[in-house]
Structure 1
Amino acid sequence: MLIDELLLRPQRCLALASHWQTRRIRNEAGVTENPMMRPTVDELMRRAFDAPRDPTSPEYKAGVRSILNLRVGGIPVPLPYELGTAQADAYFAGQNEGHRIWRKLEEEGEV
């Protein structure tokens, strides 16, 4: 298919993108996987915080989400708290967990 044809027919582009996202392949171990689908930020947040764990503050969770938004979607989030406050400290601690979550995903080959 020519690029010009895709530009003139955007609905065809959407159909192709949908096909690519739903296509599944089998890896060497016979496990079905989808290389085009990355976990969403919301899915990663559920994995991290729906499991039993010590409670965390909203600022901490915002820090985790900020890093996952950056890694998954390339969306930088400016610091929403004033430096030197407990809220900023919790936010930075959350960012550290966000980095750990992403590194673990990379090691496991999910991203």
Structure 2
Amino acid sequence: MNTVMERRNQSIVTVPNGITELVRGSDLRLVGYVDPLVRSQDVMLDFAAIERIDAAGIAALIALYGSARNTGHSFRLCNVRKHVSEVLALVGLDHILVGCTADWNSPVRGVLARTAA
């Protein structure tokens, strides 16, 4: 089940069911689901389910970020897995998109944790 939790004009949104990789093909499904939300409010996208991302996925995140900014809202990611975070860092988007990361080695997996930077 997809989840949207409201919090002071911000939604914490989970990735649509069945998407574990943000790659060509799944990118359009994510944009179609999240874009209407980022146009109307601030969105924190829970990225815990995403294990892999490619160029199409990065382009989708940039499009969502642009839609949010163009309408005066924010778009960030939380619970980003280490590998995905590393890919976002390689392309210089980690400091723009990643609001928090999950400590996947912690016994309480999925707890929001602030990044050190």
What TM-score results when the alignment is normalised by the length of structure 1?
Answer: 0.28
Please tell me whether Structure 1 or Structure 2 has the larger radius of gyration of its CA atoms: 1
Give the structure with the larger helix fraction: 1
Q: Which has the higher strand share?
A: 2
